Structure 1
């Protein structure tokens, strides 16, 4: 790692900016999907998921 860039993200030396941006936007999409799946779980079960269940919900959203 060569440190943080001006946006505060860590990056590998020589990694293309478009790869870094793709990775960051992918992470945001995953986080958004996890939030939507968690909301659906809460509506369906009327309970908040435990940490282990939240991981299972995240796995379900990825098609695994």
Structure 2
């Protein structure tokens, strides 16, 4: 099932949402080094996905 809230957003809001999701990376003090590496990997995966589907958003 598609995420119903996303297609209801205006395109501008959607781009803002995606940009925030792309740039945001939770780094908590409680994270272990392994969790930090995993978090960074997930961020890179998100960047790659956005670059593929929304190249104008990722410089």
Relative to the length of structure 1, the TM-score reads: 0.40
- The one of the two structures with greater contact order (alpha-carbon pairs below 8 A, sep at least 6) is 2
The structure having more radius of gyration, on CA atoms, is 1
